[in-house]
Amino acid sequence: MTAVQEATQDTVDSLARRLDDAWENRVSVPPLSESEGLVSAELAYRIQTRWSELRQAEHGDRVIGRKIGLTSLAMQQQMGVDEPDYGSLWSSRHFPATAGRATLPSAVFLQPRAEGELAFLIGRPLSGWPITTQDVLAATDAVAASIEVIDSRITDFRIALTDTVADNASYGAVVLGPWSTALRSADLRTIGMLIHRNGEPVVHSAGAAALGNPARSVAWLARRLDQLGTPLAPGDIVLSGSLGPSLPVGEGDVFTVETHGLPPLFALFS
């Protein structure tokens, strides 16, 4: 039996600190699923939670919301799972956009990839069973376009489900566009999104790519967190899942996200 399988708190703390060192020093680590025998998703979430606690206690980070991953059927099949995963959004990697433009320092990332998503701003607590798509829309104050940077601390993105879960769902950074109250009443399944990289169109997709409906994706997360006793609360930002494939990022790249009904959102990697 490995140390991970024994699942002591010391083991959880040690692996969380290993990931934090990789984050701080930009040095990747071998897959925990291979080097430590991490096969339990429950244990991987314990490591993720402990890492988030360390970020807050030792680095002054704040949790500003949640992110949902593995919302496409293709990615679930690739990972051998039948539901999404989730992680936390940390304030230190929220890059505000001014007039729709944000600059992200490439030096803070290891192996970044960019995704276009819809973000939800929660305005009312989401708790109680069941939590439906309509409950999510009723509790949402506004919707925005977003660019999520996923970035793995695991060498070469060689990840199993437990690796990405422990690694805070491969969170790298987030850029948010202006919030729109009008989109709360739109059919989010049909909202189109076009992504350009350095002026060339690279992704053309719609809201249905995120679990059939981005609000359905948020409802899944709300139910999961409510079961754990940590429900979504007013002020939380939720990234509802990528609307297309993740795109490699290089220094100097400019990504533009155009979403129906919203102004363009630009991210420059300096």
pLDDT at residue 80 tops 80: no
Query: Count of domains in the chain?
Result: 1
Q: How far apart are alpha carbons 234 and 127 in whole angstroms?
A: 12
Task: Note the pLDDT of residue 1.
Answer: 39
Task: Note the pLDDT of residue 128.
Answer: 87
Q: How far apart are alpha carbons 111 and 102 in whole angstroms?
A: 19
In the chain, beta strands by DSSP E: 63-69, 85-90, 101-104, 113-122, 140-150, 171-176, 192-197, 200-206, 237-242, 247-248, 254-259, 265-269
Q: What is the pLDDT of residues 81-140, one digit of tens each?
A: 778 999 999 999 999 999 999 999 999 999 999 999 999 999 999 998 899 999 999 999
Which tokens sit at 149?
């940077």
Q: CATH code at 250? A: 3.90.850.10
Task: Evaluate whether residue 198 is within a structural domain.
Answer: yes
pLDDT at residue 182 tops 90: yes
- Residue listed under structure tokens 């969170």: 171
* % of residues, the chain, pLDDT over 70: 95
- Residue listed under structure tokens 């991970």: 4
Task: Evaluate whether residue 22 is within a structural domain.
Answer: no
Domain containing 81: what range?
62-269
Task: Evaluate whether residue 19 is within a structural domain.
Answer: no
Task: Evaluate whether residue 74 is within a structural domain.
Answer: yes
Task: Evaluate whether residue 205 is within a structural domain.
Answer: yes
In this structure, are residues 100 and 146 in contact, taking their beta carbons and an 8 Å threshold? no
Tell me, what DSSP letter sits at residue 168? G
Model pTM?
A: 0.94
Mean pLDDT taken over the chain: 94
Which tokens sit at 54?
């360390």
Q: What is the pLDDT of residues 183-240, one digit of tens each?
A: 999 999 999 999 999 999 999 999 999 999 999 999 999 999 999 999 999 999 999 9
Task: Evaluate whether residue 7 is within a structural domain.
Answer: no
Task: Note the pLDDT of residue 100.
Answer: 96
Task: Evaluate whether residue 48 is within a structural domain.
Answer: no
Task: Evaluate whether residue 33 is within a structural domain.
Answer: no
Task: Note the pLDDT of residue 6.
Answer: 57
